[in-house]
Structure 1
């Protein structure tokens, strides 16, 4: 223990980070997730049988489409005319002519089923355990039958691209089971070489295909293959074939299952019928690389790879002074969630924080598809909301924790996806809107759909999806200071987005540049004639997003020496003519350009508060009046809502430095959701810690992790704010290590009895000047690259240490 500064006052071992289950899963949201970014599995942990539901991130319905509509320009002109005339309800109806076809749907891979020959079960519940260890990314199931202890270990290896399961029995020769692969998709399976099961199939070529019984019937969509390889102990055990497509093991001591999977998906612009990829050949190739790799080597490589990412951040909380710890990793996690409203166990907060990081690593890795509405985990042919990326909050929230929580690489699939969207979006912009650049709307899919989808105008028409995604490009640079990324990846996409926005803006009667038509995501208003409407002009979120993109273009151009181009000059000129954020008659932030009446003040979206977070135009220092109005808006919205909405509110309150209300939103998420009695828009957690909309949406898990990081550390590139929204009475003592701040800075913080003890900071990029803020104390410091700077609780520099040591 060291009270003289720095973060070393407690250097004990990290508490076990485990999601502990009381019995086998009864619902999908009781099962435990594993994944490597591309492959995913949900482990149910049964006794007489085991179900492992499988996913592969490229399995989607459909094929590339035409995302243009030559009739859209006429419809756009009509809608703009109605908006100009103040006929907002009619404009909303007319805007349906701007909508297009539905998006495609994320599919499942299939099920790995194990049936055990346990005979008479003298199963005692006390002997059963099932848990996910976040630090090893491993699910372990263990139980006793009579005098035999059975154990199953499951992990999903990124280095070897294989799902691995080890089954073992404490008594030699006691392990007997049958294994099969099956799928709800059109498929066939057979046994190969008497110890491998090969399953081949295809996704529907249409969104809702007619039922068929053979692979040859109807046009194929994306084809897939999964191969399960079975290895058993050499000294005992027999493998036999059952029904031509199952394997049966009798009398073995242990078994190792290696499952690989591939698809014919060859990018968002290649039709499945034109793909040259052979999923069977690719699966066999992958299997050959892992078949002779021992279980221990597979596990060690998996562990090293995973912990390289996961181990960058550690986080511990106590609700009283050191020594009065309440964390109990052996307790059933669902029971801990149930009791949180009474005991407010801070160690459960730390667990859910790290669970969000675990899910991001498991569902988004360089080279994989972008994390969708459920990450990569899905059990349905027709999942809720198609399990697609939604770009009016959900996809963006998925990646909120990537940068501050030290997982920048996990954001790479998002940038690859934006690149694909920009290509389709260029055609959509040109044909639908007669505009340069590129555009993307509210809902997309693996084919990078850029046009509006079919649906209700209130949510389906929203041409700002690309703009919001582009803010992530600039944020990536501000955290990493990677100029190559800025030059080669970010800036060309920002340029294209800015070109569209400049053409989309039209001069209004009062001199502002306006967006018309314009919606505030998924929210209606009451027009002056008393009718419900969704379409008007220049919603607050439109303007905030446009300002965010224009700022990024201008700032990036300065760094890259492009500040005198015609585009940048046009952007800077337009910046001064965008409609500013205004305060409504009741003191809240105006959501629309006109002060319409709101028919649903408790609406789940916080779109008009984008400037506070994740934007940067509303700050306590520069715009105190707008901050006061944002606070009023948050009070109006209330505290209830789906999980993602509550987590956005937590981050917003954090940026108002209101720790009490930020914590209230954090606490509200700890509500155990019953899958059999879900209430729409009442968020919470399932027993496996998946977050609920309900049903399950992964964005709230990621939003929770991001919100906690914002409560602890906020940054601008020049300023770094420490513990500005820390609920000191709830988390009086804690240590967090490895959080990232803008400017390429890594931060470790410790506090005790609600007071800052010390801070360690270092930069892995350029030497920079940072102004530290804590309470009323401010300290300017030069952070020298290659050195760790340690400060005490009064922000006094106490020592420097070379990172080489």
Structure 2
């Protein structure tokens, strides 16, 4: 039995809490649609609504105390090193800026009778980006459609009924129980504007405008309320802006709403669907029902399907839906010109949210983009690159002020202003210096997938500047190795033989793994550009002096330079496996000893309760996929859905944190396609339960795009499209024939499941085990 690609979440009831609402977004503007029939709440966000403005928080005592801290660590005087670091290295003040909600749009409906509601359905179409509510009441059928348009920069809600004059409601803009705004004013007879300041020193001004366009009936504004009476249909247009981007945010918000109103709802909707579908429909995934899915699951509401999975039932279709939802959320929270997706994408309802809902860059912000390139959403990666550029100037100041180093540096958090000083007084994380280095690897990854020479030329100075910091910062051990001091292994704690616990250390394993990737990226980038030969040699020499990954007494990858015990063996961070994923150094065939030790590491983590947070479980899926263990990867997909997923499919840390959605989508991709080890590996970690399926539109390093179908656990057919003239190496789990235009390609070298040929730009190649099978995806 097969099924169509899954692309819809739906429910039989309104959301009772924010975590059940349906998210929409255009990168800058987001909404959580609750779908109520008597009162509707659309919780609103604008990505630049952050508390306060930029600050220099670099601690002036950091540099004078740096050598003292390094000496204390070398001498093993941990308590003194910890105490001095907390005082001297922490930012002043210790916290960065935090993300805030824009407010709420509340609609209170009035009906001509008090009949019960019937035939209720609430849905979110992942391909069109439209949330809809349908129901009947008193013999009248009602429908609401809501979407956030990227081309028209407006959040639009359309209310219709099948009987004239049936739509009456009062609309109000609100912001928190304490009314965190300055005033609500009437801009014209159909537009109301909220004015306010985000708060804190230097905080941005914000404006939110609501405009109503009614057919039939009347629209009026009374005090702070918009009143609609007896309309046939109504279009509500919500716009917002802050002074972070606009000199006059009110003028922008009001004029944008007016332009949208002039265009008309159908034109807005058509432009939105065309734009959104151009991204959402690039990749489609179908996983066959292997007979273990509960009967009728595909037609059940999404929350009921999830409940069955939480009870241990299989549902391949829900997995495919979850994958597509991960892509949907990135399209909705990260578009060119927006800020990057934060800890909650753009969807946050709290004035002081968990972990400030900003950018945690010791994995979480990076995980948000693990599926951007493979999932064919390369342009959604761009806001992260913009943030990196915004961090360079503050990062130079931090590098010089704290460490007397060149280049630029960032620690484990940043915010809208690109703040690079340490965040919090939290010894297991705050003084880690690899945040910018890890982020810069995303620049190189984007080049590897697209091979855009102009992009590489533009970002090479950023890569080089990140590496420059470590040329000055790294210190030499007695054995001549180059290490970071001080450092941590995020966010874990080790135990010395004496029983004393420690967090600060010298040369954590993750440091060397990240720096190996960074120096490699710099070397390769310089080679492609044909520049900096002397600098390339220096990076190669430094890379050779980094500590090699070590295998500890349990057969595991060591997390620290010494083989310490862990205070929490089931810790959520598994930082010492960075080189397995998202790094590329540990591979099953290329480094079998390290791969085996990585497996031991994972087994030990999981045996001690690891993966208890959503994002950590998502990371574990990627690890098992890279180890080519499809059964273990699927086991953790089920655990992610069963234990760390909310009714609207948001990831549950707990609380909601979006990185698990993105990491989970990336992990599903890694099970089906990998391209980190020099070849395009098709179906590297295919579990038995996914014996039949199809995916189209994935991207691979080297400028390739891949479609594939499989049956009985074996590749049936693949199509590879090349965007550049390049050697194409493909690894499969069954023999194939490589064809172009129906003819066998000459010069294909094949051995041990690895096939290679010289691809030409613009050509499509068909890899077939037998006669092509008709696609089931539509």
1:51 aligned onto 2:30: no
- What is the deviation of 1:119? 4.8
Partner residue, 1:785:
761
What does 1:507-522 align with in structure 2 at a 5 Å threshold? 507-522=476-491
The alpha-carbon deviation at position 528 of structure 1 amounts to 3.2
| Structure 2 counterparts to residues 158-307 of structure 1, below 5 A | 158-184=150-176, 185-206=180-201, 221-233=203-215, 236-242=216-222, 244-266=223-245, 277-307=247-277
Show the counterpart of 1:114. 107
Q: How far apart are the structure 1 equivalents of 2:722 and 2:137? A: 55
Counterparts of 2:472 and 2:127, CA distance in 1: 49
By how many angstroms is 1:123 displaced?
1.9
Match of 2:647 among 683, 687, 691: 687
Structure 2, unmatched stretches of 5+, are 735-751, 774-778
| Residue matched to 2:683 | 723
Length-normalised TM-score, structure 2: 0.93
Deviation at 1:549, TM superposition (A): 0.4
**C-alpha distance in 1, partners of 2:357/2:44?**
15
SS at match of 2:457: helix
3-state secondary structure, aligned to 2:346: coil
Counterpart of 2:664 in structure 1 is 704
Please name the residue that 1:5 is paired with.
Answer: none
Choose which of 128, 132, 144 in structure 2 pairs with 1:136: 128
Report the secondary structure of 1:90's partner residue: helix
Write out per-residue CA displacement over residues 169-219 of structure 1, whole angstroms, 9 at most, x where no aligned residue. Answer: 11111111111112132231122322111111111115xxxxxxxxxxxxx
Q: How many residues align?
A: 746
Partner of 1:313: 283
Shift of 1:45: 0.8
Counterparts of residues 610-629 of structure 1 (less than 5 Å): 610-629=578-597
The reply to whether residue 576 of structure 1 matches residue 544 of structure 2 is yes
Which whole-Å CA distance do the structure 1 matches of 2:732 and 2:687 have between them? 17
Which residue in 2 is equivalent to 1:802?
A: none
Change in Cα spacing, 1:67 to 1:516, as seen in structure 2 (3 Å) is same
User: How far did residue 73 of structure 1 move?
Assistant: 1.3
Deviations 1:513-543 (A, max 9, x none): 1111110001001123311110111000000
Structure 1 segment 378-393 matched on structure 2, within 5 A: 378-393=348-363
Aligned 8 A contact 2:73 2:486 in 1: yes
Deviation at 1:717?
Answer: 7.0
2:416 matched to which residue of 1? 446
Structure 1 residue 150: Cα displacement:
1.2
1:602-633 deviation digits (Å, cap 9, x = unpaired): 00001000001110111112211111110000
Moved more, 576-585 or 329-338: 329-338
Inter-partner Cα distance in structure 2 for 1:84 and 1:328: 59
1:512 & 1:609 partners in 2: Cα distance? 20
Question: Does the 8 Å CA contact 1:759/1:793 hold for their aligned counterparts?
Answer: no
Per the alignment, residue 536 of structure 1 pairs with 505
TM-aligned CA deviation for residue 461 of structure 1: 1.6
CA distance in 2, matches of 1:650, 1:203: 39
- The whole-number CA distance in structure 1 between the counterparts of 2:677 and 2:594 is 22
Per-residue deviation, 1:327: 7.2
**In structure 1, C-alpha distance between the alignment counterparts of 2:690 and 2:432, rounded to whole Å:** 40
Matching of residues 61-76 of structure 1 within 5 Å: 61-76=51-66
Determine the C-alpha separation between the residues in 1 that align with 2:566 and 2:500.
12
Deviations 1:337-374 (CA, angstroms, capped at 9, x unpaired): 11124431101000000000000000000111111000
Q: CA deviation at 1:307?
A: 0.7
**Cα distance, 1:731 vs structure 2:** 1.1
Q: State the Cα RMSD in Å.
A: 1.9
Pairing 1:41–2:31 present:
yes
* 1:781 match: secondary structure: strand
Q: 1:78 aligns with which of 44, 57, 68?
A: 68
Hey, what's the Cα distance between the residues in 2 that align with 1:484 and 1:312? 24
Match of 2:374 in 1: 404
> Given the alignment, which residue of 732, 736, 744 partners 2:691?
732
The alpha carbon displacement at 1:637 in A equals 0.7
| Structure 2 Cα separation of the partners of residues 352 and 187 of structure 1 | 40
Please tell me whether the aligned partners of residues 398 and 420 of structure 2 are also in contact (alpha carbons under 8 angstroms): yes
Instruction: Give the structure-1-normalised TM-score.
Output: 0.90
- How far residue 326 of structure 1 moved from its aligned partner, in angstroms, is 6.4
Map 1:541-620; keep pairs closer than 5 Å: 541-565=510-534, 567-620=535-588
CA contact (8 A) 1:89 1:527 kept: no
Q: Identify the range of structure 1 (450-459 vs 148-157) with the bigger mean alpha-carbon deviation.
A: 450-459
Cα separation, 2, equivalents of 1:84 and 1:16: 56
Q: Contact 2:60–2:401 at 8 Å: present in 1 too?
A: yes
Secondary structure in 2 matching 1:248: strand
Stretch moving more, 18-27 or 579-588: 18-27
What displacement does 1:50 show?
0.5
Q: 1:435 to 1:736 in 2, by over 3 A?
A: same
Contact 2:6–2:285, Cα closer than 8 Å, also in 1: no
Aligned partner (choices 614, 618, 639) of residue 668 of structure 1 = 639
TM-superposed CA distance for 1:67, in Å, is: 3.8
Q: Given the alignment of the two structures, is residue 493 of structure 1 paired with residue 462 of structure 2, yes or no?
A: yes
TM-superposition CA deviations, 1:649-678 (whole Å, max 9, x none): 11001111111111111000122xxxxxxx
Q: Any conservation in 2 of the 1:717–1:743 contact (CA below 8 Å)?
A: no
1:773 aligns with 732
Q: Does the aligned pair in 1 maintain the 2:702–2:726 contact within 8 Å? A: no
Q: In the alignment, is the contact (CA less than 8 A) between 1:17 and 1:329 conserved in 2? A: no
User: Matched residue of 2:414: which SS?
Assistant: coil
Report if the CA contact (8 A) 1:201-1:224 is conserved: yes
Please state how far the C-alpha of 1:754 moved relative to its aligned partner: 1.5
The gaps in structure 1 that reach 5 residues or longer are: 1-9, 207-219, 267-275, 672-682, 800-805
* Contact in 2 for aligned 1:327/1:345 (Cα 8 Å): no
3-state SS, counterpart of residue 291 of structure 1: helix
Distance 1:512 1:155 in 2: 55
Match of 2:744 in 1: none
- SS of match in other structure, 2:559: coil
| Cα deviation digits, residues 70-106 of structure 1 (max 9, x gap) | 3111222111011110223432232212111201110
Q: Secondary structure at the match of 1:620?
A: coil
- Shift of the 441–86 alpha-carbon distance from structure 1 to 2, 3 Å rule, reads same
SS at match of 1:131: strand
- Choose which of 9, 30, 34 in structure 2 pairs with 1:19: 9
The aligned residue for residue 90 of structure 2 is 99
Tell me the distance in 2 between the aligned counterparts of 1:455 and 1:146.
59
Instruction: Report if aligned partners of 1:175, 1:252 keep a CA contact under 8 Å in 2.
Output: yes
Measure the CA separation in 2 of the matches of 1:250 and 1:511. 79
